[in-house]
Structure 1
Amino acid sequence: MNKFVLPAIAVAAALGAGGWWYSSQTTPAAADSTNAQTASPVQAHELDFPIGNPDAPVTVVEYSSFTCPHCANFNQGPYEQLKADFIDTGRIQYIKREVYFDRYGLWAGMVARCGGGERYHGIAELLYEQQREWAGANDPAQVANNLRRLGRQAGMNDAELNTCLEDADKALELTEFYQANAEADNIRATPTFVINGQQYHNMSYDEFANVLTEKLGE
């Protein structure tokens, strides 16, 4: 489980490779709060791309980072089962929200959103599936090129991808959205899940399914 504290993010233009960089200043991480309750309502925002049933009695908000290995493991394992059993069947609504540990995670989020809601979840799957390959380079220019390659796999061209990566307004909007959500929902680790207002940390499929079944009253 990756732990973090809320950074004060300053978005600035990158000279060269990737698009937009940000820097952070952090303080020591607070103690884990597994049973924390959120004060904010669970509802979709215009920057969210919900899937499942918007009228379902249960909404899950997943807070994950595209550069977090535990998040990749969850999305390549338990999430696939949850999608088949609870999301695709219309039993719940599911919302993915990004956490930005580093500039690479922000760039990945910008590429994932480049194709809008229709492509977002497919690109997110690619990012998690190939996380080691695209995020493993030490060179920011190589990481940016790796992300462009994934974007091309999703059907976009370099001109579209460069426009997305160089969109300073979107970078700022996303970082502010992330900060506001993380503070409101008391997010200190990834992956973290807010299920009908209650916070949970990384779970196996069976644990997750038991929580959802209980909240659904099944």
Structure 2
Amino acid sequence: MNKFVLPAIAVAAALGAGGWWYSTQSAPAATETASTAASPVQAQELDFPLGNPDATVTVVEYSSFTCPHCATFNQGPYEQLKEEFIDTGRIQYIKREVYFDRYGLWAGMVARCGGGARYHGIVEMLYEQQRDWAGANDPAQVADNLRRLGRRAGMNDAELSACLEDADTALELTEFYQANAEADNIRATPTFMINGQQYENMPYDEFARVLNEKLDG
């Protein structure tokens, strides 16, 4: 389980290997970030929910694209949850990104490049191929890997460059992440908020038990 201390990152507008670089030197102070951060109320603008919006149970998953435990969850328990609870309309499920590093932010920007219609498909690709695209030590190589993944998802180089070099989106996503993570007291990934109650990573059977109890309640 990956852990961090908030505020975890600050964003500086420095174009690098095809994406955004983090810097603690030129970023706004933590107090300034907190005062201007996107409100959790704005979730509908940046979240892409799955399942039933009228369900009595809502799950919010906080995960990082560079977190191995998150990849394991998304390729295992999540697939079972999707089949048994999300696709059947029993719950609403929301994925929220946590940014430990610049690579995670770049991945989030690529995932959102195709809009809501492509988002979840690209998220699956990012987790399935995490070792392939995130394993390089060279930022330029990671950026190229993400561009290749984006092309496989149907985007062209111009679209990907526009997404990866979008300063406003980089800042908006970071502030949105920080505001929600602080509001929900997120200190590790993956972490889940189920109807406002926090849960750590758990196997499918335990997750299903919790969901069924809340559905029955």
Q: What TM-score do you get using the length of structure 1 for normalisation?
A: 0.89
| 2:69 aligned with 1:58 | no
Partner of 2:68: 69
Contact kept, 8 Å, 2:60 with 2:96, in 1: the verdict is yes
Other-structure match for 2:204: 205
* Structure 1 unpaired stretches of 5+: 26-39
The answer as to 2:146 corresponding to 1:127 is no
| Residue of structure 2 in register with 1:11 after alignment | 11
Amino acid at match of 1:180: A
1:183 Cα offset (Å) = 0.3
Identity of aligned residues (%): 89
- Aligned-pair CA distance for 1:44: 4.5
Amino acid at match of 1:19: G
> In structure 2, what is the Cα distance between the partners aligned to 1:189 and 1:53?
27
Q: Aligned pair in 2 of structure 1 residues 217, 44: CA closer, same or farther (>3 Å)?
A: farther
Could you say which residue in structure 1 is the equivalent of 2:82? 83
Q: Offset at 1:14?
A: 3.3
> In the alignment, residue 210 of structure 1 is paired with which amino acid?
R
RMSD: 1.8
Matching of residues 158-169 of structure 1 within 5 Å = 158-169=157-168
2:149 corresponding residue in structure 1: 150
Aligned to 1:117: 116
CA distance in 2, matches of 1:85, 1:91: 8
Q: How many residues align?
A: 204
Alpha-carbon shift at residue 20 of structure 1 (Å):
1.0
Q: Give the drift of 1:46.
A: 1.1
Instruction: Write 1 or 2 for the structure with the bigger share of helix.
Output: 2
Residue number in structure 1 paired with 2:178? 179
Cα separation, partners in 2 of 1:59 and 1:42, compared to 1, 3 Å: farther
TM-score (ref. length: structure 2):
0.90
Q: Relative to structure 1, is the Cα distance of residues 24 and 102 closer, same or farther in structure 2, using a 3 angstrom cutoff?
A: farther
Gaps of 5+ in 2: 26-38
How far the C-alpha of 1:21 sits from its partner, in A, is 1.0
